[in-house]
Structure 1
Amino acid sequence: MHRPVLEFWYEFASTYSYLAAMRIEAAAEEAGVALLWRPFLLGPIFAAQGWTTSPFNLFPGKGRYMWRDMEREAARLGLPFYRPDPFPQNGLLAARIALLGGDHGWGPAFTRAVYTAEFGQGRDISDPVVLSELLTELGVDATSALEKAETDANKTRLRRIGEEAQSRGIFGAPTFFAEDSEMFWGNDRLERALEWVVSDRARRTDFVV
């Protein structure tokens, strides 16, 4: 039987996307839900609101809370956590590579590796050398992957995904979409999103005759 699908929209600079990315596969498998990994960039979305950086930088009180909350949540999930410097990190190249990886089956593994390097080890994910090392560790030809990720076609594809994100009302990450286009925002809404996807599929199946 075809499994219901949950879209997982994530940005590599996003702290809470790190938490979601590291636990979403197990949660989705338990719920019987397939995942569609959608890397994108929040920068253009923030810029459209007149922001030049993360709201966690623009609003210091919110930022202080987020960093403490990340420490608590990472500890609860058994994940390492380092505060990146600078923050937010530039995830443009990583997103281009992850988009390419989605076509070849290694996108999710690469995504987890990038988040681990960034938030688990404090490494600079804008550095092509770091990303090359992560690809090599996954058994991917790093030179070929970087070349393909930087083609005009792949760059245009990522831009169009960003336009899609804006048209669908995404304002932060992680964001999840059910098959009926119901949107859920935040790592703490992952379970609710999975429940919705399953219940929505059940509701629509009930009307099949």
Structure 2
Amino acid sequence: MARRPTLEFWYEFASTYSYLAAMRIEAAAQGAGVEIRWRPFLLGPIFAAQGWNSSPFNLYPAKGRAMWRDLDREAARLGLPAVTRPDPFPQNSLSATRAATYGMDHDWLVPFSKAVYESVFAKGQSIAEPSAVVTLLNSLGLDGTIILKSAAAEANKGRLRVNGEEARSRGIFGAPTFLTEDGELFWGNDRLEQALAWAVGDRPGGMR
């Protein structure tokens, strides 16, 4: 059997549009015949390098108002629960992202990632506290206390930093971002279908 092409899915737990992408990417990828590699990372350092101290949706209120309305429409279109805005926004996602980084070597990464997104954007709950992350892990039948302890170890924290450096070096500036095997970058939930098409060689005008 021929190997299926792979698409990297770079996501941040505080990102609204990453939420939409995370909740639909598996079905879309299966239909396209593409494997997804889930890549959790932190946007904060990347935003800071651009001179931003918060989400651009906070820095530019008109853009933020349009985003929240768009998120409501898209959630309804996708059959997702009504969006509940977390307070504060964006959420501090450090503990959850450390856990997800540790989970990259385990089969619970995807269900955990989706559970985090549901907690933040469907229920409006905080994920800032380590105890909240432990509760989410426990809800999946895992030992959240042990996992979070491993996630806070220096080796895993170093891996998260390296992942962030890799994201910057590959030109990632926001989330969600999709990267194909030949390095083509697609940014935004609304570019998922184009990224999947590119991954399987369906490219407009015979582009490389």
Name which of 105, 108, 117 aligns with 1:106.
108
Deviation string, structure 1 residues 141-165 (Cα, Å, up to 9, x no partner): 1111011000000001001110111
Question: Match of 1:199, SS?
Answer: coil
What's the TM-score, normalizing by structure 1? Answer: 0.94
Question: Match of 2:128, SS?
Answer: coil
2:55 is the alignment partner of 1:79:
no
Structure 2 counterparts to residues 24-63 of structure 1, below 5 A: 24-63=25-64
Correspondence for 2:167: 165
Correspondence for 2:5: 4
Q: Distance in 1 between matches of 2:132 and 2:94?
A: 14
What's the TM-score, normalizing by structure 2? Answer: 0.94
Structure 1: which 5+ runs fail to align?
Answer: 202-209
Deviation of 1:200 after TM superposition, in Å, equals: 6.4
2:142 is the alignment partner of 1:136:
no
Deviation of 1:133 after TM superposition, in Å, equals: 1.4
Deviation of 1:113 after TM superposition, in Å, equals: 0.2
CA RMSD of aligned residues (A): 1.1
Deviation string, structure 1 residues 29-60 (Cα, Å, up to 9, x no partner): 11111011000011111101111000001111
Aligned residues: 201
Query: Could you tell me whether the CA contact under 8 Å between 1:180 and 1:200 is conserved in 2?
Result: no
Correspondence for 1:205: none
Structure 2: which 5+ runs fail to align?
Answer: 204-208
Query: Could you tell me whether the CA contact under 8 Å between 1:14 and 1:173 is conserved in 2?
Result: yes
Q: Distance in 2 between matches of 1:156 and 1:138?
A: 26
Question: Match of 1:22, SS?
Answer: helix
Q: Distance in 2 between matches of 1:7 and 1:117?
A: 23
